[in-house]
Structure 1
Amino acid sequence: MIFMKKLLVVSLLLVSLILMGFSTHTSAAEKSTDIEIPVVNYHVISHNPDPNNLYQYSVEEFEEQMVYLKENGYRSLTLRQYFRILDGKAAMPAKPILITFDDSTSDFYPNAFPILDKYDLKATQFTVSDWVNDSWSMTAEEITTVMKNGIDIQNHTATHPSLDHLSYDQQYDEINDATAALNSLTGKRINVFAYPYGAYNADTLSVLENLGFKGAFTIEGGISTDKDNRYELPRFMILNGDTLDDFVRKLSTGH
């Protein structure tokens, strides 16, 4: 009889431990599905930003933000890592961030890239293909150099139009021509897009789908999640006048 009571007690303890473990596992699994990734967007990084140009940001303030990311344990993602997390194919690190730039302007190589490299931060540069080698843009050599050192190169159209003002065929040509040119330049698959001026319409989405794009980014603010439409992925911009406090706030709220 005593043996049976002891056996019952041991059995109950084992059941309790199993249930506790299951509960902990379930809780962890639930947390792992809360995918939230801030996606930050920059344009021009300048030593002498024009105070009247929202898209120009100072080198010093940019570096201050990159130092903040590094010192606070953020992990910068490649596009491949970003989409694998969204698609449930990879675990999300504790503090992920996707750093993006638009236009591939000439300042990126001498000003932004050395800072990213210094702090071992990955980034994506959305490139206007017809601007490559122009005086205000990166050269082909610079693009291939940064691409070999942690910078993804992706599509920002051929000529940077406001796509919502174009016909379906015109939009198709803008995006497809840039894809072909950038693929030829980089030797990489070009299948991620950023809307110039953040402008798009139903035709744009249809073009991207028909061309097999994996995703596209807006500039409407917000934090990226796995629930987002892949062709309406949110980014928040860092603009002239934004302080480090603004940057930190946007990392958590997207606004």
Structure 2
Amino acid sequence: MLPQVWRVRAAAALALVLVLAVVASGRMGLFARWQGGQTSPVAAQHPSTSASVPATFPSAPPGGKPAASEIVEPGRPQLHVPVLMYHYIRVPKEPPRTVGYDLSVTPDDFRAQMDWLAQNGYSPVTLRDVSAYLANLGTLPGRPVVLTFDDGYADFYSTAWPVLREHHFTAVAYLVSGFLGRPGYLTPEQVAELDRAGVEVGAHTVTHVDLTIVAAADLVHELMDGKASLEHIVNHPVLDFSYPSGRHNPAVEKAVQAAGFDTATTTEPGAAESADSRYAWPRVRVEGQEPLARFAQNLGPLDPTVQASSPTG
């Protein structure tokens, strides 16, 4: 008999094959069973919040004293947790107004941003924490925020992680499994170390390809093999996904769900999460050379009873 983990993976692979068969044939009506509430074998182990169960969002000001809680009413299981999106933490090598330049937050700016979060009572959490809260399986601290880092660049380990560790902050690292070990990227050993230290490892495909245009077999490869490679490194399920370049559509979302992921994030702007939208959660892009005042403004209000300080810069 196959071990439980392989039975789950086999079932997820079969579900993904069925999804891709539907995509290839254009018979999208067969997705009705997913729309009716069924989930993949892995996702079934992490149920989403029932609309009939009220949830309480505890909030606290920087001093640590409880503030008024936000009650998430039945039928509206939605949070407003900013999910920040980073790429490089480095001094950019590219000229201004290029992609590499815009995606590069300097080490000094990054430290200032983390200092500001700490000074204003923000508590970084993982997507596992957000998912557990929406499933009525856990709580969140006051002023939660999620820090995500795309692609698996080496400067996350060398530059960002020491600053995060100083503040006792956690983060989510979305990794392109096929890039690990290349020059400029994390090594598998570093990934395992970060995972043991509490960094959440998420999947970002094998080759960072646009999933909306790949062939069905390539979609299976990018989702299933990318997930399996990371799980081999960290020795536990990898349940969160990020679409490369934010490219997704309903068919890709269904395939991600069938592959056994619980959530997926996009590059679309916003800060609203719900169980129903968990395969298209938005994020807040942190751009290179962004003034600290704009960084703070982009976080948006979380609790009207708590006032954050006004940054300078």
TM-score, shorter chain, exceeding 0.5: yes
Report the equivalent of 1:41. 85
Deviations 1:187-233 (A, max 9, x none): 12112100000001232112112112101000111012326511001
Partner SS state of residue 100, structure 1:
strand
List per-residue Cα deviations over 1:132-163 (Å, max 9, x = no partner): 10002111111111111121111000000011
CA distance in 2 between counterparts of 1:239 and 1:107 reads: 16
2:71 corresponds to: 32
Matched, 1:226 2:265: no
2:233 corresponds to which residue? 185
- Number of residue pairs aligned between Structure 1 and Structure 2: 228
| 2: CA distance, partners of 1:107 / 1:42 | 11
Q: Which amino acid in 1 is paired with 2:138?
A: A
Is the deviation greater in 30-39 or in 131-140? 30-39
- Counterpart selection for 2:165 from 111, 117, 121: 117
Q: Residues 168 and 204 of structure 1 are in contact (CA less than 8 Å); yes or no, is this contact kept in structure 2?
A: no
| Contact kept? 1:131, 1:137, Cα under 8 Å | yes
Q: CA 1:144–1:187 in structure 2 vs 1: closer, same or farther (change >3 Å)? A: same
1:217 alignment partner AA: T
Q: Extract unaligned runs of 5+ from structure 1.
A: 1-24
Q: Given residue 185 of structure 2, which amino acid in structure 1 is its aligned partner?
A: S
Written as runs of structure 1 = structure 2, the 5 A alignment for 1:169-248 is 169-226=217-274, 229-248=277-296
Secondary structure of the corresponding residue to residue 165 of structure 1: coil
State whether residues 168 and 203 of structure 1, in contact with CA within 8 Å, keep that contact through their aligned partners in structure 2: no
Give 1:17's aligned residue. Answer: none
Determine helix, strand or coil for the equivalent of 2:186: coil
Is the partner of 1:101 in helix, strand or coil? strand
Q: Which residue of 1 aligns with 2:30?
A: none
Secondary structure, in 3 states, of the residue corresponding to 2:173?
strand
Give the equivalent residue in structure 2 for 1:143: 191
Q: Is the 8 A contact 1:39 1:224 kept in 2?
A: no
Cα separation, 2, equivalents of 1:49 and 1:69: 27
In the alignment, structure 1 residue 94 sits paired with structure 2 residue 142: yes
Q: Which amino acid aligns with 1:83?
A: S
CA contact (8 A) 2:267 2:282 kept: yes
Distance (whole Å) between structure 2 residues aligned to residue 145 and residue 82 of structure 1: 23
Q: TM-score, normalised by structure 1?
A: 0.83
Matched AA of 1:91? T
> 1:181/1:249 Cα in 2 relative to 1: closer, same or farther (>3 Å)?
same
Identify which range, 103-112 or 162-171, moves more after superposition. 162-171
CA distance in 2, matches of 1:157, 1:66: 28
CA deviations 1:77-108 (Å, max 9, x no partner) are: 02221211222322332200011000011111
Instruction: List runs of 5+ in structure 2 lacking aligned partners.
Output: 1-55, 57-66, 73-77, 303-313
Q: Is the 8 A contact 1:223 1:253 kept in 2?
A: no
**Root-mean-square deviation (Å):** 2.1
C-alpha change, 1:29 and 1:243, in structure 2 (3 Å) is closer
- Give secondary structure in 2 for the equivalent of 1:125: strand
What CA distance in whole angstroms lies between the structure 1 residues aligned with 2:280 and 2:250? Answer: 11
| Paired amino acid for 1:138 | L
